[in-house]
Amino acid sequence: MEVFFVYKRERQKWNTQTLVFLALLIAMHLVLTRLVAIDLGFCRITVGSVCTILAGLWFGPLAGGVCGLCSDLLGCFIKGYAVNPLITTAAILWGVVPALFSVWATGSRKRKAAVLCAGVAVCSVLSTLVFTTAGLVLMNGYPLLGILPARLLQWAVMMPVYCVLTCSLYFSPLTQLVRHAAGVQSHSAAGV
C-alpha cells in the first residue's frame, strides 16, 4: 500500500513533455520488438521491453503500464496479429513491476542496481515465463512441453541482458535529462 502513496506524493502530471517522451518510448519499443528482433514464432529475441521498463522507472508505474499496453496493441495492429489478453498483460507488467520495485531502491548505487535487477527479474518471470507462455499455449495452441524449453532458454539469456541495459540506461545522465525535461520530480531511486 505504501508504494502507491510514494508515487501519489510526487504529483505526477502528464504534461505535453511527458506524453512526448512516452510516445517516443512506445515508438522505440515498436522498432526494437517488431523490426530489430529475431522472431521464432513462439519466441521473440528482442530488447524492446527495456523501453517500457524505463517508462515505468522514469514516469511511474501507471505510465509504464500505459506504455506497455499501447506498445503491445500497436504492435499487434502493425503485424496483423489478434490481440492476446495474456500477452498484453505481460506487456503491461514490464512497465509496472520494476517501477514498483524502484521505491525500495535507496542507498548506494550497488543497492539501487540490485533492487532494480530484482524488479526486472520478477517481472521477467511473470511476463516471459507465466503470462506470455500461457497466452501462447491457451490462445495460440502451442504445446506447453514443446515450447517451454525454448522459453526457459530465452528467459535465462534475456533476463540478465534486460538487467544490464536497464541499469546502464537508468544510472546514466539520460535519466536526469528526461526527468528534468519532462518536469518530473526525482524520487529516491532516481538519485543518480
Task: Provide the residue ranges of all domains of the chain, joining segments of one domain with +.
Answer: 13-183
CATH topology of domain 13-183: Arp2/3 complex 21 kDa subunit ARPC3 (1.10.1760)
Give first-to-last CA distance, the chain, whole Å: 26
184 pLDDT tier (thresholds 50, 70, 90): confident
Write the pLDDT tens digit of every residue in 130-155.
999 999 999 989 999 999 999 999 99
Residue located via cell numbers 538519485: 191
Write the pLDDT tens digit of every residue in 45-103.
899 999 999 999 999 999 999 999 999 999 999 988 899 999 999 999 999 999 999 99
Residues in Cβ contact with 28 at an 8 Å cutoff, skipping those fewer than 6 apart: 48, 51
Query: Would you say 123 and 159 are in contact if contact means Cβ atoms under 8 Å apart?
Result: no
- In this predicted structure, what is the pLDDT of residue 76? 92
- In this predicted structure, what is the pLDDT of residue 21? 94
Residues in Cβ contact with 108 at an 8 Å cutoff, skipping those fewer than 6 apart: none
Spacing of C-alpha 112 from chain mean position: 17
